[in-house]
Amino acid sequence: MKKTKISKAAAKKPRAKAHSAKKASAALRSVKAAKPPEADGKLTFNHAMIYARDVERALIFYRDLLGFKLIEDFRYEGKPVYARLHAPGGDGTIALHQAEANASLASDGVRLYFEVRDLDDFCRKLQQKNFYITQLPRMMPWGWRHAYLNDPDGHEISLYWAGENRMKKTLKAAQKALDRKTG
């Protein structure tokens, strides 16, 4: 399996290639500088693996539509089979992995959550690119605004903005528990 760290666009332009190499080097330095999880004995979350029938198609969705930044790109016979992407507004990463030919991609009970401040505008931009949103943004009973959609392989995604209501759900649950104990 051949490992590359540049995008197709970067491969076409010598300047872009050097720039992408700098980005990859910076990403590698940040990973090396990060405190390893075993150093403090606490479990850390690394990334979510998303299996795809077509990694290139998944890349178009996560990179080009949602804005994730490509940090690793593994190819086999010129075809992407694995890619690691960094969230555009945080530390989170996801990995796209080529699924086996007959493997089920069903992920019942799992949904990916991505938070975006201007949820309505973000969803409008997806729709302008002809992407179908299964539930347009709306206020949920717990006070967060959510929209729902599926990636090209059917994995459920929630786009949301919690805003000032971020802790209200947790605080309400804590208050109910306290009321039960004292009541």
Q: Report pLDDT for 62.
A: 97
Give the list of residues 6+ apart from residue 94 with CB closer than 8 angstroms, or none: 47, 48, 49, 50, 62, 68, 84, 85, 87, 112
Q: What is the CATH number of domain 1-26+45-104?
A: 3.30.720.120
Helix (H) or strand (E) holding 167: none
Instruction: Measure the CA–CA gap between 98 and 28, rounded to whole angstroms.
Output: 23
Instruction: Measure the CA–CA gap between 154 and 157, rounded to whole angstroms.
Output: 9
Q: Report pLDDT for 11.
A: 39
Q: Report pLDDT for 174.
A: 61
CB 82 within 8 A of CB 98: yes
CB 114 within 8 A of CB 158: yes
* CATH homologous superfamily, domain 106-183: 2,3-Dihydroxybiphenyl 1,2-Dioxygenase, domain 1 (3.10.180.10)
Break the chain into its structural domains and give their ranges.
1-26+45-104, 106-183
Tell me which residue of 146, 140, 139, 175 sits closest to 160, measured CA to CA: 146
| Residues of the chain below pLDDT 50 | 1-19, 28, 31-32
